A and B are shown apart, each in its own frame.
Chain A
Amino acid sequence: MNHPRNKAQTLWQLFKATFLLSASTFGGGFVIVSLMKKKFVEELGWLEENEMLDVTAIAQSSPGPIPINASVILGYRMCGLAGTLVAILGTALPPMIIISVISFFYAQFRSNAIIALALQVMRAGVAAVIFDVVLNLAKNVIKTKRWLYIGLMAGAFVAKVFFGVEAMVLILVCLAVGIGDLLVHLKAGQKKRATEVQA
């Protein structure tokens, strides 16, 4: 664990991290979530892996840009309201600066062949980063050795890739399965207690 010494230092690290990640996020919300997982879970040790997945689910299901949503929650977790504001600033500033500058010569930017080429090949690197994160995450789901979780992961993947099911629908279905699982657990617990009392 790499815990910063005081609040000001945490806020500065939070700003630096969100700013850098936002400036490097080419692609949708799941790209920045993968980068955040690498930075905050693997590198800084600020969050647990499960926590990052929960934050991703909340950010995906809430209205608004996913990177901003995730920043609000991560910032709050690290430093309360101040952390939220700093994380939002770090995430919003790079696109604001870059787009403001580009808006003056966007016609040239859009039709520049080298930029288009660089953006195309860059996708290979972005995909590799996401695959790297996914391999670790999937390994940990399999390590739980619960068929329910492994099945949910495989089922959700097939539903999304082959049937184009909306992310929101998948999250709601899994939420329902989780609640069902909880009810089964509670019932089993009650039965166990009842037999203990009888004995």
Chain B
Amino acid sequence: MNTLMQLFFSFIQVGLFSVGGGYAAIPLIQNQIVDVHGLMTLAEFTDLITIAEMTPGPISINSATFVGMRLAGVPGVLLCTLGCILPSFFICLLLAHFYYKYRNFQGVQTVLSALRPAVVALIASAGLSILTLALFPTGVAGLSSIHMVEGILFLGSLFLLRRYHVNAIAIIFGSGVVGTVIYLVMGLF
């Protein structure tokens, strides 16, 4: 089997067996690309994960694109990404169909109502871990290790969002630009 088809089937497996988001996919990708098929060295793979985390978008799509590009150019990008997406496409389409067919039933609503608070809690915990990373990039080591610039950026952003409903995307990129400028200026003195 040629590399392209091998990549395609590898990423179908990644898409099919990674439940729970990007970090669940990393060991699967490593297993397929490094261990089973030997398409990359472990060092290259570590680079790949670093890049995937530094760029926007889902980690598995980022990885699929990166692996595809390095090993087989643009056709590789398309096939790897397609492989990664195909299982999601079929499974979620089916679930969406059933969800919209039955969601207006009273009984289904009662069950879903108990599920929603858990989803809110999960989003909150994701927010908390990102905030922790922002305030303590090198790990939590007492309150004195807190990064004040990020703390002020967080509070300022939250204020702009709550009080003035500033666009979320503007907040994300704006905090990146403002924070970088502050650190660079601080570095001058």
Contact = CB atoms under 8 A, between A and B. Distances in A.
Given A26-B56, A114-B180, A149-B113, A72 B96 contact: yes
Interface string A24-55: 11111111111100110000000000110111
Given A73-B96, A76-B97, A121-B150, A53 B176 contact: no
Given A73-B99, A121-B153, A121-B183, A99 B124 contact: no
A67 B57 contact: yes
Nearest to B88: A64
Main secondary structure of the interface of A (DSSP, over half): helix
B88 A69 contact: yes
Interface residues of B, number: 95
B111 interface: yes
B103 interface: yes
Contacts of A53: 115-116, 119-120
Interface in B135-189: 135, 137, 149-151, 153-155, 157-158, 161-162, 168-169, 171-180, 182-184
B118 A128 contact: no
A58 B99 contact: yes
Given A123-B150, A125-B172, 8 more contacts: A25-B57, A64-B15, A99-B51, A99-B52, A119-B54, A124-B179, A128-B158, A155-B121
B89 A126 contact: no
B168 A35 contact: yes
A130 B127 contact: yes
A167 B175 CA distance: 29
A128 to B, nearest CB: 3
Among B20, B22, B50, B74, chain A packs the most CB atoms within 10 A around the CB of B20
Contacts of A66: 21-22, 58
Contacts of B175: 121-122, 124-126, 128
Interface in B5-30: 15-23, 25
Cβ-closest 10 pairs across A and B: A121-B179, A95-B57, A125-B175, A178-B114, A64-B88, A130-B127, A128-B157, A153-B117, A30-B126, A156-B121
